[in-house]
Structure 1
Amino acid sequence: MPSEPETPRLAGLGDEAAPGLDGQLAALDALGWDLLEVRTLDGVPIAAVPERDVARAAERIRGAGAGVVAVAAKIGDWSRPATGDFALDLAELDALARRCALLGTRTVRIMSYPSGGLTESEWGRVARARVRELASRARDAGLLLVHENCAGWAGEDAERALDLLAHADSPALRLLFDTGNGVAHGYDAPAMLRALAPHVAHVHIKDAVRTPGGDTAYVPPGEGEAGVRECLGILADHGYCGALSIEPHLHLRPHLLADGADPGRGDPAAFVEYGRRLEDLVRRSWNTEGAR
C-alpha cells in the first residue's frame, strides 16, 4: 500500500492573532501548531525591534515549544517604491540577518517595489537590479529571500516573477505564493501558481471576494473567489512540503496604513478558527487523490 504524501507544515503570521507575543503563542498553542511567522511584535516591524528584545522573544518562542518559519520584511513592499532610498532596504536586510540568527530562521519575505511613477522599462530595470543585489547579500548572510506575489514589479505577473528569478540567478531567491492576492490585484491565482509552483518555497493562505463596490473583503479559506482549494491541489500535485502560513486579514490589514487608514488588530479566536478551516482543506488536498 503506497504511503501518504508528506503534508505541509502549518504556521501563521502571529500578529494576525494578536499584537503581542503572548497572544500569538497562545493562539498557536490552541491550534496545536508549532510554527510562527513573525512580522511585528507589539506593532513594531521585526527589523526595528531591538536585538535584545528579539533575543528574549526567541527564548519565549522556544520555551513554548515553537519555532519561527519566516519573517515578513518591509523590503520592496507597498511602502517602499522603486524611487525610494535603496539604503533603507539594505539596512533592513542587515538588521534581519542578525534577528533571523536569533530566531532560528533564514527565510525572509520581500516584494519588488511599486513603480513610484517610473516608466515600465525603468521600473523593471530598478526592481531587477535591487532584488539581484539583495539576493547576493542574502546569500552571503545565509538567508533565503522569498518574493511575494503582491506589491511590486513582479507581483502580479508570472513571467515577471520568473524573469526576476532568472535575473537574480541566485539560490538565495525563491518565491512566496499568497493564495488571496489575486482577488485584490486582479489576476487568476491558480493560473499564476501553475506557472510558478516549482519555484515556490513558502505559502500564505488567505481568501477573498470582490464586493459590489469594487473593494476586497476577506473570508475564511475555501469560501471566497481566490481558488484556495485549487491552489492547494496544485501544490499537492507538485509535492510541496514547505509551510502553509495563514494570513487571514479578517481583522488586521497592514496595507491599509499606506492610505492612512486603521489597519485593525489581530483576533485570536478568528485566527484559530481560520487555522481549523485550513487543516480540513489540507487533509482533503494531500491525503488522497480522490479528495481533490
Structure 2
Amino acid sequence: MVVDLPSGAGPQRPRYGVTEDDHIGRAAPGIRFAGIGDEAAADPAGQLDALRQLGWKAIELRNVNGVAIADLDDRAFDALADRIAAAGLDVVCVDSRIANWSRPITGRFEDDVAELRLLARRCATLGTRYVRVMSYPNAGLDEEEWGKRVLDRMALLVRQAEQQGLVLLHENCSGWAGTRADRMLELLDRIGSPALRLLFDIGNGVPYGYDARALLGDVIDHVAHVHVKDARTGAEGRVTYTLPGDGESGVRSCLRALLDHGYTGAWSIEPHTHLRPHQDHDATSSDGVAAFVRYGRCLERLVRQEAPPARTPVAGGGQHG
C-alpha cells in the first residue's frame, strides 16, 4: 500500500508494491511474513540474505552492525536504505529504544524525543510509519507516580508521532503497561489517538510470567503488528527459546485467534534461538542466517496447518507499515 507521509518528512525511496508473486511471502490473505533482521545477522548483507532465502518481502529493522537505526550516521543509513530498496523489501516496522528496558521512567525524556524526531525522517525514507516502543520500566517510584509519569510521557510522544506521520506500537514487554491488559487499554483510552496501537509479541508471556493468549483476547482489537517467538520454562525457572509451536507460548492458539479476528498486517519472527541482541554480540552471520531461515520455514509449516491457503493478494489489502 502507499503510505501517506507528512510534507517535509525527508526524501523517500520508491515503495515496492504488491506483485503477483508476493503470495510467496504471505501467511494468509492480508498477512505478510517478516522478520527482525538482526536476529539473523549483524551486518546488512546477512540480514537481507536471510529474507532472500525465505522468499519473504518484508523486514523489520532494529540494529545494524550492533548500532540502533537512530544511531547510524547518515552515510550508513543511506547505504542501508538503498540496499533494502534494491532487494525489493518493504520495511514493516522500526524497533526503537523509546521507553524500552534500557530507559527507566526516571531517565532522560529528551533522549526519547530526539530519537523519535530522527526516526520520523528515517521512517519516511524507508516507507514505514510504524515505530515500536515500550512503556518505561520502573526505577523506585510508587505505582501511582510511575503510572502518572508514563501516561504523561506517552501522551507527549504520541502527539509528536501524530505531527510526524508516525504510529507508535506499544509492545507487551518491559514497562508499566508491558504485562497487563488493563494498563494497555488504559494507555490507549487515556491517550485516545490512532497514532498509538499495540504490538503483540506471542513469546513474551513466558519470560514475563503471564498467559499471552489470555492477554491477546483482551487487547486483540488494538493489535496492529505481531512478533512471533516461542519459549518454555526449564530447570530452575530458566527460560529457553524454541521453534514456533514447540514451546509454552500458545503460538498456534494466538495465530488462530488473530486469523479468526480478521487481523491484517505482519507476522514478524523474532526467534531468540540463536541470538538475543541486547545480550549476545559474537554470533556468526552464517550460523544466524541458517537458524533464522530454519525458524521461518518452521513458521510457514505451522501456518499451513492453521491458516487457509493464501490467495494472490488484492492491491491495498493489509497494512504494510
TM-score calculated relative to the size of structure 1: 0.93
The aligned counterpart of 1:259 is none
CA contact (8 A) 1:70 1:105 kept: yes
The aligned counterpart of 2:242 is 219
In the alignment, does 2:185 pair up with 1:162? yes
Q: Quick check: 220-229 or 60-69, which moved more?
A: 60-69
1:34 to 54, 57, 78: 57
What are the residue-to-residue correspondences of 1:32-111 with 2, within 5 Å?
32-111=55-134
1:271 to 278, 286, 292: 292
SS of alignment partner, residue 232 of structure 2: strand
The Cα offsets for residues 79-138 of structure 1, whole Å up to 9 and x where unpaired, read as 000011101100110111111111111100000000111111111111111111111100
Q: For residues 56 and 96 of structure 1, what CA distance do their matches in structure 2 show? A: 16
SS of alignment partner, residue 237 of structure 2: coil
The aligned counterpart of 2:163 is 140
1:280 to 295, 298, 301: 301
Amino acid at match of 2:295: Y
Amino acid at match of 1:157: R
Q: Give the CA deviation at 1:212.
A: 1.1
The Cα offsets for residues 188-228 of structure 1, whole Å up to 9 and x where unpaired, read as 00000011111000000000001111121000000000000
Q: Give the CA deviation at 1:161.
A: 0.3
Amino acid at match of 2:308: N
Q: For residues 152 and 160 of structure 2, what CA distance do their matches in structure 1 show? A: 13
1:241 to 249, 254, 264: 264
Q: For residues 215 and 133 of structure 1, what CA distance do their matches in structure 2 show? A: 37
Relative to structure 1, is the Cα distance of residues 264 and 174 closer, same or farther in structure 2, using a 3 angstrom cutoff? farther
Amino acid at match of 2:164: A
Q: For residues 52 and 169 of structure 1, what CA distance do their matches in structure 2 show? A: 37
CA contact (8 A) 1:25 1:61 kept: yes
The aligned counterpart of 1:16 is 39
The Cα offsets for residues 41-68 of structure 1, whole Å up to 9 and x where unpaired, read as 1110001011332122111111111121
The count of residues paired between Structure 1 and Structure 2 equals 280
The aligned counterpart of 2:19 is none
SS of alignment partner, residue 115 of structure 1: coil
Q: Give the CA deviation at 1:15.
A: 0.2
Amino acid at match of 1:140: Q
Q: For residues 276 and 33 of structure 2, what CA distance do their matches in structure 1 show? A: 21
Q: For residues 26 and 5 of structure 1, what CA distance do their matches in structure 2 show? A: 23
Relative to structure 1, is the Cα distance of residues 36 and 5 closer, same or farther in structure 2, using a 3 angstrom cutoff? closer
Q: For residues 240 and 283 of structure 1, what CA distance do their matches in structure 2 show? A: 17
Q: Give the CA deviation at 1:255.
A: 3.9
Q: Quick check: 173-182 or 119-128, which moved more?
A: 119-128
Q: For residues 5 and 62 of structure 1, what CA distance do their matches in structure 2 show? A: 24
Structure of higher RCO (CA pairs closer than 8 Å, 6+ residues apart): 2
Q: Give the CA deviation at 1:6.
A: 1.6
The aligned counterpart of 1:232 is 255
CA contact (8 A) 1:78 1:255 kept: no
In the alignment, does 2:236 pair up with 1:207? no
TM-score calculated relative to the size of structure 2: 0.85
Give structure 2 stretches of 5+ with no counterpart. 1-26, 310-321
In the alignment, does 2:157 pair up with 1:118? no
The Cα offsets for residues 264-288 of structure 1, whole Å up to 9 and x where unpaired, read as 5460001001001111222222217
SS of alignment partner, residue 213 of structure 1: helix
Amino acid at match of 1:131: M
CA contact (8 A) 2:38 2:277 kept: no
